[in-house]
Amino acid sequence: MNPVIMTVFGGPRRDGFSAEMLRRFTREFQAEFVGYDAYERNYAPCTDCRYCRDAEGCCNDDMDGFFADFEACDGIILASPVYNMSFPAPMKAILDRMQRYYSARFFLDKRPPVAKRRPVTLLLSAGSPDEKGDIAARQLEQIFTVTNCELTGRVVLSGTDGADDLPALIDTVAPEIRSEAEKFRKAADDITFSSHNS
């Protein structure tokens, strides 16, 4: 049985660097992919209404399907450009809405808020040639402490500003994409096997 993998795409351009990185990564293994496009979905941001401190979930139901897939999947791939050393606003809105899991853990005492452990790979494209994705990775790791996820891989394609030849530039990180995809696939397969044999 193939693993169920959630992909979350945070870029505004479906023909851009982040989108191509995601396509190449997912071509490396067989899986059932459930995709979310942050710009297309345009989820509402967290408003700190504190609903999730008293009840599990969120007062806004626009992400109910996303959360159901997030909790059920066997692995997650996030692909995004870097905006000001972080994520674009639509992607950041998704990440901020993970507050519901923080509240479930620390206000509702649900341990853990998400039962299944999942691997996560981060694919980033960045205009700056010096970008390493450290700030974006730290943001994710903080969220993952309460969502039973582990950031197991990261590929950063830097220096995209002014680059004309998209395939040629992505080819420079192709070995990393293949290596991280293999590592991710194995981790997701292990989770799929365990969940169907427990």
pLDDT tens string, the chain, 198 residues long: the values are: 789 999 999 999 999 999 999 999 999 999 999 999 999 999 999 999 999 999 999 999 999 999 999 999 999 999 999 999 999 999 999 999 999 999 999 999 999 999 999 999 999 999 999 999 999 999 999 999 999 999 999 999 999 998 877 888 999 999 999 999 999 999 988 775 555 454
Listed in sequence order, the DSSP H helices in 3-77 are: 17-26, 38-41, 64-72
Total of domains in the chain: 1
Q: What is the CATH number of the domain that holds 49?
A: 3.40.50.360
DSSP annotation string for 116-144: S-EEEEEEEE-SSTT---HHHHHHHHHHH
Domain that holds residue 33: 4-196
Considering the entire predicted model, what is its pTM? 0.94
